[in-house]
Amino acid sequence: FAGGFVPEAMPESRGRGLVFREKPRPGRMDQDALAVYRIEEGDYKNVTESVREGKRLEEGNYLIAAIQHANPSPWYGGHWYVDLLHPGVTDKFLEITMDAYQREIGDQFGKRVPGVFTDEPHLAPAGGLHWTDDLPEAFEARWGYSLLDHLPALVHETGDWRRVRHNYFQLLLELFVERWAKPYYEYCEQHDLEFTGHYWEHGWPGAGSAPDNMAMYAWHQRPAIDILFNQYSEGTQAQFGNVRAVIELASVANQLGRRTLCETYGGSGWDARFEDLKRIGDWIYVLGVNTLNEHLSHITIRGARKRDYPPSFSYHTPWWDSYHVL
């Protein structure tokens, strides 16, 4: 979203989500309604046209699929997170950010500026399931049947729901690669930069934010992950201690002959000790990370920044003059 500049330049980039609500009668179709279904005996029927025509339908169990828009937030510069699958959004982002960097410091690309980092680009920015305007057309072209006829299968175990869900998330993945990851990767190839950063690798097995993190890593010149906190845990969605997340990264790097990077130490606290930092660093190194990227260096710790996933690797910390030893 580039600090709000992309939404400002492209209002149509506003993130969209697919949400569902159940009613005994469908009522009228509002502007955000996509389709209406009658649910009965473990199956569903698309009755959208009947509702649009104003036909009176008998009472029953109706499912309304609708579009929900991302809300403005101070986190997004007073705007909202964008739909990264909307055609042109990635181009606009690269124009606003990378063209400016190239103008100011382009002579340092591949030298003092070895690459660029992206932090948690994701789908489903408005809650619910991800939606983009041309998804129905792309789905039918990819799979040969109508997505709009089968939306209930995304939230109910009815009909051929396994196939519909697989096809839906597979298509999101392919569009995420084609419309976001690949253009950014190609820009970096052309400008002697390494594209790095990370997605939502700790969300597994959820497929909402990024259907397949490993597939996305292939479109980084230096694939990367994030490891937060200073509490060791081996839970499914843990950070420090999540062996799966690091091994996935190492696997992609081994297959493609790439070096790796990890954004490390975020949220470990102002009280993190050198021995804590070394323990975390050693753990990621032994599992396959070969570049440690400290999270982060605050320009200021005024206001909310003081509590925004410290420590800060800068003069704000009393141990800064000794950090070179670590």
User: Which tokens belong to 227?
Assistant: 């490891």
The DSSP string of 175-230 is HHIIIIIHHHHHHHHHTT-EEEEE--GGGTT--SS-S-HHHHHTT-SS-EEEE--S
pLDDT tens profile 177-199: 999 999 999 999 999 999 999 99
Q: For position 249, what pLDDT does the model report? A: 97
Q: In angstroms, what CA-CA distances link 62 with 269, 270, 290? A: 49, 52, 53
103 in helix, strand or coil? helix
pLDDT tens profile 227-285: 999 999 999 999 999 999 999 999 999 999 999 999 999 999 999 999 999 999 999 99
Give the chain's count of helices (H) and strands (E): 10, 10
Q: For position 303, what pLDDT does the model report? A: 81
Which range (27-36, 98-107, 209-218) has the least confidence? 27-36
Residue 167, pLDDT > 90, answer yes
Report yes or no: 56 and 34 within 8 Å, Cβ to Cβ: no
Distance CA 299, CA 156 (A): 48
Q: In angstroms, what CA-CA distances link 70 with 15, 17, 82, 105? A: 5, 8, 8, 34
Q: For position 76, what pLDDT does the model report? A: 87
Determine if the peptide bond prior to 296 is cis (ω within 30°).
yes
Q: For position 220, what pLDDT does the model report? A: 98
Residue 307, pLDDT > 90, answer no
Mean pLDDT of all residues in 289-311? 90
Mean pLDDT of all residues in 35-46? 90
Report yes or no: 188 and 55 within 8 Å, Cβ to Cβ: no
pTM of the model: 0.94
Q: Are strands 292-294 and 62-69 parallel, antiparallel or unpaired?
A: unpaired
Burial letters 259-287, b for 16+ CB under 10 A, else e: ebbbbbbbbbeeebeeeebeebbebbeeb
Determine if the peptide bond prior to 205 is cis (ω within 30°).
yes
Residue 56, pLDDT > 90, answer no
Grade residue 42 by pLDDT with cuts at 50, 70 and 90.
Answer: confident
Q: For position 238, what pLDDT does the model report? A: 95
Grade residue 324 by pLDDT with cuts at 50, 70 and 90.
Answer: very high
pLDDT over 90, % of the chain: 86
**H or E element, residue 116:** strand 115-119
Report yes or no: 29 and 20 within 8 Å, Cβ to Cβ: no
Mean pLDDT of all residues in 198-214? 93
Residue 50, pLDDT > 80, answer yes
| Single-letter residue type at 143 | W
Q: Which residues fall within 8 angstroms of residue 279, CB to CB, at 6 or more apart?
A: none
Give the chain's mean pLDDT: 95
